[in-house]
Structure 1
Amino acid sequence: MPIQIANESNNSGGGGGGHEIKVKIAYSGEVMITYIDESISYEGLCREMREICRFSPDQVFTMKWVDEENDPCTIQSDIELDEAIRLYEVNRDSELVIH
């Protein structure tokens, strides 16, 4: 999937079309942008994050998305990922923020 590294102050308005979701990933002082399919599984998202953040296959990590109230919400299952995507769509957000 396409990956773009952005600065913290980058607010470009581009985005994926159709059934893709723009994901803004904040990790280790960097902000990266990628696009995921709205039907991605939790395991698929984990693979994407490992690739983007250059985690080793055995490195344990936690993903959190930021909700509409700027609260971090942990993603540890398909159900929690589905809820994050559902709220992203309901709120018509421009991107899903994960850190």
Structure 2
Amino acid sequence: MPTQLVQDNHANDVRVKTVYNGEVMITYIKHNITLEEFTQEMIAICRFLPDQVFTMKWVDEEGDPCTISTQLELDEALRLYELNRDSSETTLQVP
């Protein structure tokens, strides 16, 4: 189930703005989320079919899209989010 509607205090979570098909959705994820959990979250939020192929990208501080296809890439996106937490939010593009 997508966590975008959960009303808990998200002070320690990562705020993710997801842009897909002209819609902008906000969700919160834990810092230690696995790639599989993150992928399932995006499938639920974007209402993809379970076997639908898609690409996840995050937008870095310079505005460049960076693909998330491995746990290492997701961990790096979360690490950089934490470094820039006061000045940015994580934006995820699902082309």
Question: Are 1:22 and 2:15 matched, yes or no?
Answer: yes
- For residue 87 of structure 1, give the secondary structure of its aligned residue in structure 2: helix
SS in 2 for 1:50: helix
Q: How big is the shift at 1:95?
A: 2.0
How many angstroms apart in 1 are the aligned matches of 2:11 and 2:29? 11
Q: Does 1:69 align with 2:70?
A: no
1:31 to 8, 24, 31: 24
Cα deviation, residue 98, structure 1: 0.2
- The 1:16/1:94 distance shift into structure 2, 3 A limit, reads farther
The two structures, once aligned, show a CA RMSD in angstroms of 1.4
3-state SS in 2 of match to 1:82? helix
After the TM superposition, which parts of structure 1 deviate over 2 Å for at least 4 consecutive aligned residues? none
Displacement of 1:17 in angstroms is 1.1
Q: Which of 84, 89, 94 does residue 95 from structure 1 map onto?
A: 89
Larger RCO, structures 1/2 (Cα 8 Å, 6+ apart): 2
The amino acid across from 1:60 in the alignment is V
SS in 2 for 1:3: coil
For structure 1, the 5+ residue unaligned runs are 5-14
Question: TM-score scaled to structure 1, two decimals?
Answer: 0.83
What's the counterpart of residue 12 of structure 1? none
Aligned to 1:2: 3
1:3 Cα deviation (Å)?
Answer: 1.6
Write the deviation string for residues 3-28 of structure 1: whole angstroms up to 9, x where unpaired. Answer: 25xxxxxxxxxx8212x110000000
Counting aligned pairs with the same residue, the percent is: 57
What TM-score results when the alignment is normalised by the length of structure 2? 0.86
